[in-house]
Homo-oligomer: A and B are copies of this chain.
């Protein structure tokens, strides 16, 4: 069974992006602090084409997170650029340049229809306008038996969590405050919608919290 797996970095005060997100500052003010724990890891650097790096308790977590993923879903805000309809002359094509690091089918939740965007290296962005269930069905189909990664942002995560569609969740808890921005668990009430805590892994600069469906 192909699982929907949410892996996301969150601050101690619950934010997955800082305040004032913009084209210049896609993660919001201070948002890169959520991901600093990963930048020095060999298991993060290698797939991003960078040499060297550390091996520590986070390494296996990152490797497991990248393994067996056949498609990705993300919200329009994570794909980025600007709200509203696409610019017909110079549409926003994502943050990742000509060769995005996904190398598989990516489904972007949006209210604005658009033709698929085919990039180098096997990444194709498909724009889904008929909701999260449709995006998940399309992603499962594209994944060919592998799992589907839910990459963010906060609103997309909230919609899938509230619908009880997330099978596994890994929160990389960064020991820092952002003081504002997008909260992961906003509007979800007081339960994890079927997810149960499994274990946590203490690493030097982050703590990994694992949840899954029984």
Contact = CB atoms under 8 A, between A and B. Distances in A.
Interface of A: 12-14, 18, 29-30, 171, 173, 175-180, 183-185, 188-192, 197, 199-203, 205, 207, 209, 211
B209 A197 contact: no
A43 to B, nearest CB: 19
Contacts of A183: 13
Contacts of A185: 12-13, 177, 179
A204 to B, nearest CB: 8
Q: Count copies of this chain in the complex.
A: 2
B175 A173 contact: no
Nearest to A190: B179
Contacts of A192: 176-177
Contact of A175 (B188, B190, B203, B211): B211
A205 to B, nearest CB: 8
Contacts of A171: 12
Contacts of A30: 190
A132 B186 CA distance: 32
Contacts of A190: 18, 29-30, 177-180
- The 6 A-B pairs with the shortest beta carbon distances in the complex, nearest first, are A175-B197, A179-B190, A13-B185, A200-B202, A179-B189, A200-B207
Given A12-B185, A13-B14, A177 B191 contact: yes
Nearest to A189: B179
